[in-house]
Structure 1
Amino acid sequence: MRNFVRNTLAQNNTRGSIVIIKNGQPQQISNGYAWYGKKVGNGNDNVVYPTASLQKVVTAAMIIQLMNENWHTSQKFTQNTKISRWYPNLKNADNITIGQLMTHTSGIQATNTELDRGKVLSENDAINWAIDNTNNGTQGTPGTYFYNNTNYLLLAGIIIKISGQSYENNFNNRIINKLGLANTFLYQDIPSWKTDPISYVWNNGKNYQDAEYVKKTLASQLPGAGNMFTTPMDYYKIQLGLTNGSILSKSDFYYLTHLKSATTNYSGGLHLDDDHTKSAYGSLSNTHFGNWIKMTTDNRYGIIMFLNQVSGDETAQKNIGTKILDHIKPRMFDKDNNQDDQDLINISGN
């Protein structure tokens, strides 16, 4: 398996770190350099990767936790609660539910969330910018799917408002501490002995071209939507935690992935294919990272793929992952294997 995975990556001029899961057993396999200039290898214990949109399920899970905790309090809310409760000055908030934020069906079509504005923002500053940007932008009809980071920036703000604590504190207490994760951080908390990787492209027969990394200014713009860094093995533990009671129970996970406002198979940060397979894709504008997860919902088979050198688009990256999945268990993932996360449909406008 290790040779197959490494050869598949090499043959496709791709570098990164991958966890494959077979019969419930995870195995990490890495190829190439996370930082070519310093010869830091992918899979090095000190490297933590940007998750981009793979963070969204974590934010959505914390919303479900808060729903449960406040069920018998004055702050009770459900997927059908209008977000005007928390955002009275947001355009059309009276017509948008929290479930619609979680399924990208809010109608919000705000742009430029991933255009690096060159300034490190606090969580509240980033969320307030998203509100202003939404109010000044085009608004679609609630109930129509349009993938947009703003939905999850607003969810991060709701977490702050309900809990009375920062998103950072909620993330650390509800996710990291609950799972005992040693290699998962929000960008601002990455310790000095860790490093985030550089991203590259394969170009004109050469590896490690056009180096780009996630700048602190960009990460600070995306609380709840793209400022989490981790390893594929820690992310595997997060996936386990979504159903084993550490983060959510199985019934909570079902609720999360079957929100009534969903108009596609996207719900709560994941695509769900006929209750058998979950998936998500993530990338960040002006970098070359490509992240893909595709797993069975019982977590027994699948792949978590963090790529830092690519030689093709989202479809090409998924095709590499699909070859590996077919080697793990032939034909298990045949159905709909190219219909998950539509992040890149709108990524240039996000």
Structure 2
Amino acid sequence: MKFRELFAKVCLSASLLPALALPSQVHAAVTTSAAKAFFRGNNMAGTVLLVQNGAVKTVNYGYAWFGRRVSNGAANVTYPAASLQKVITGAMIVQIMNEKKHTKQAFSQYTKVSRWYPKLKNAQKVTLGELLTQTSGYLARGSEDSRGWVQSENSAINWVVNKINTTKQAKRGQFYYSNANYILLVGIIRKLTGHSYSYNFNKRIVKRLGLKQTYIREQVPKKTMQAVSYAYLWKRKYQQPVSFTKTVASQLPGAANMCTTPLEYYKIMLGLQNGEVLSQADFNYLTHLKSRKTTYSGGMYMKKGGKVKVAFGSIAGEHYGSYVQLSADNRNGIIMFVNERSQTEPQIKSLAYTLLDQIQPQTFTIS
């Protein structure tokens, strides 16, 4: 590596250290008491990472497991990331794309998915980029409905392929959000690397970034607990407890089968742009693919002219709500995992905007 490149990389890494290594020494504009009042006043429970000028602070409120009085933010608690995982799957595709350049396996956003799925409906027309931008027209309704047993990655992929081949699909070239696209990407990752998605996830993301509380749901160790989700109903807290089961998680490889914490998810966000996972140019490529029809590309919405990035996730029949909105440079915003709520997705985003606008006024989006 040339000296100039090495020096630039060292400087970039050093610029991130205060935000990651010394969160307890930071005082964000939103105080701890104000953030707790946000949860309390909206009858929510969860954990939020507040990011201001590159400095971070985690605020927890309520219980991760009410029955045993385990608090949110306890050292052994993780949260389902739901669709916040999709950008990670997209990043792995770009990593492999770079690795396969100038080989017989070289591919791009324009490569037809028939290379990997020759028997899939419309695969001769649909491109890899269209999977990443949710414009393939592929739908697989019911992907989050429990099938009653833990699926292998291959079984989950085959279920999606069969669903697409045997049901009416949407029009290619228009935006239709579906887990199917990212589960199909898992099959492509498996075929290109010869390894499972979980192997690639652990190698390319967890180990590379030194993460300690980020797992594929089916691999969460016994000493670690996943937060239980609850509804706020009839003016009573902690109603209708539902957990994100291994069964449902196994049906959603690459789309929504990851557990993490706000701080570790922030480390992933940094890694997707600072060269540890992707370079800034790679991230721009992923989030600005030619096939996009909305601001969505590669697992995130790039809003306000690309100045902020947004993703929201939930699981059907459960009460979790995962939400990230960060400035494009990762220096301001929030990462919030809610495990008790009564609000819809638009309502949570609207409420969270009150925090975002305190962090950096007139910067973020309400939707």
Question: What's the counterpart of residue 8 of structure 2?
Answer: none
Question: What's the counterpart of residue 322 of structure 1?
Answer: 353
- In the TM superposition, residue 332 of structure 1 has moved relative to its aligned partner by 1.8
Q: Please report the RMSD computed on the Cα atoms of aligned residues, expressed in angstroms.
A: 0.7
Taking the aligned partners of 2:34 and 2:271, their CA distance within structure 1 comes to 29
Question: What's the counterpart of residue 344 of structure 1?
Answer: none
Taking the aligned partners of 1:323 and 1:231, their CA distance within structure 2 comes to 22
8 Å Cα contact 1:83-1:93 kept in structure 2: yes
Q: Which runs of 4+ in 1 moved over 4 A?
A: none
8 Å Cα contact 1:108-1:138 kept in structure 2: no
Question: What's the counterpart of residue 6 of structure 2?
Answer: none
Q: 2:97 aligns with which of 58, 67, 70?
A: 67
Question: What's the counterpart of residue 140 of structure 1?
Answer: 170
> 1:58-116 CA deviation, whole Å, 9 max, x = no partner?
00000000100001100000000000000001011001000000000001122111111
Taking the aligned partners of 1:263 and 1:27, their CA distance within structure 2 comes to 35
Taking the aligned partners of 1:248 and 1:207, their CA distance within structure 2 comes to 42
Question: What's the counterpart of residue 363 of structure 2?
Answer: 332
Map 1:1-350 to 2 at 5 A.
Answer: 1-273=31-303, 274-333=305-364, 336-338=365-367
- In the TM superposition, residue 141 of structure 1 has moved relative to its aligned partner by 2.2
| 2:339 aligned partner, one-letter code | N
- In the TM superposition, residue 8 of structure 1 has moved relative to its aligned partner by 1.0
The structure with more radius of gyration? 2
Taking the aligned partners of 1:293 and 1:107, their CA distance within structure 2 comes to 26
8 Å Cα contact 1:86-1:158 kept in structure 2: yes
- Secondary structure at the residue paired with 1:48? strand
Taking the aligned partners of 2:257 and 2:54, their CA distance within structure 1 comes to 28
Taking the aligned partners of 2:46 and 2:346, their CA distance within structure 1 comes to 17
> 1:127-162 CA deviation, whole Å, 9 max, x = no partner?
111111111111222111100000000001100000
Taking the aligned partners of 1:29 and 1:137, their CA distance within structure 2 comes to 45
Unaligned runs of 5+ in 2: 1-30
8 Å Cα contact 1:113-1:149 kept in structure 2: yes
TM-score by length of 1: 0.95
8 Å Cα contact 1:294-1:303 kept in structure 2: yes
Taking the aligned partners of 1:15 and 1:48, their CA distance within structure 2 comes to 14
Aligned residues: 336
- In the TM superposition, residue 189 of structure 1 has moved relative to its aligned partner by 1.2
8 Å Cα contact 1:9-1:320 kept in structure 2: no
How many percent identity over aligned positions? 47
- In the TM superposition, residue 41 of structure 1 has moved relative to its aligned partner by 0.5
- In the TM superposition, residue 118 of structure 1 has moved relative to its aligned partner by 0.6
- Secondary structure at the residue paired with 1:94? coil
Taking the aligned partners of 2:320 and 2:348, their CA distance within structure 1 comes to 10
